[in-house]
Structure 1
Amino acid sequence: MPHLIIEYAKNLEEKISVAALVSSAQEAMRRSGLFASHNIKTRAKSYEQFIAGDNGNSFIHAEIRLLEGRSSREREALSSAVFNSLCQFAEGVPAVSVEVREMDASCYSKRVPF
């Protein structure tokens, strides 16, 4: 577990390597020391239709979903690390954001590998 979901404006695909963006954010999660690297699940989704403020012709947003139990300081440091990794790819991108969400473990189900 955790899940890192990166959403971005499709027009960024002409300017950046999405694979490198995903890899960099995954590495920031790993370097946090909060998770075993084999448990981090990272994915990206592009959007063609969006409005990102008055002057926003592009955006990058990451949502980090965690099970409960991390301290506020740990969540803040994780958010900052992922934000900094995204900003490396965000020259000229007016909207870059990261959100950390805690999930209720009693409501989370997953398949365990055989």
Structure 2
Amino acid sequence: MPHFHIDYSPNLEDRLDIAALCAVVAQAAKETGVFPVAGIRVRATACTHVYMADGNPDHAFLDLSVRLRAGRAPEAKAAATAHVFKALETFCDPVMTSSPFMLSMEMRDIDPELSPKASSIRKYLPEEMR
């Protein structure tokens, strides 16, 4: 049940393929082996109002927030964070090298006692992805 939520400055839509970015994040998450494929959810939201550094409208940012159910070993989470962030860096490198750009990521646990879930998606996935 990991949630991958990308917040980004709207001026990135002219510089990055956001749909492709979502696919890159999902693929990197799968590659870690830490997250069940059936639970991976990636979404991206352009922030309507932004102000960065000195207010220059050319500045851009992208922040990936990962929320996941508690219980994974700290080493597994650290390795997954490094792997997903590396995929983000690689995908965003053309923007980073050509314009003012801030890239960040945070992974945090969700308290399962305070986060009920329901899903029917597994019955629609191939057996090997359940």
Asked if these proteins are the same fold (TM beyond 0.5), I'd say yes
For structure 2, which runs of at least 5 residues remain unmatched after alignment?
124-130
Quote the sequence identity (%). 30
Secondary structure at 2:91 match in 1: coil
Instruction: Point out 4+ residue stretches in structure 1 off by more than 4 angstroms.
Output: none
Q: Residues 82 and 98 of structure 1 are in contact (CA less than 8 Å); yes or no, is this contact kept in structure 2? A: no
* Structure with a larger share of its residues in helix: 2
Query: What is the one-letter code of the residue matched to 1:101?
Result: R
TM-score, length basis structure 1: 0.89
* Offset from partner CA, 1:12-32 (integer Å, 9 cap, x none): 111111011110011111001
Q: Quote the residue 1:99 is aligned against.
A: 106
Task: List runs of 5+ in structure 1 lacking aligned partners.
Answer: none
Q: Distance in 2 between matches of 1:112 and 1:14?
A: 35
Aligned counterparts of 1:32 and 1:46: Cα–Cα separation in 2: 27
Gap change, CA 1:53 and 1:77, over 3 Å in 2: farther
The question of 1:80 aligning with 2:82 is answered yes
8 Å CA contact 1:52–1:95 kept in 2: the answer is no
Shift of 1:77: 1.3
CA RMSD across the alignment? 1.8
Per the TM alignment, residue 44 of structure 1 is displaced from its structure 2 partner at its CA by 0.5
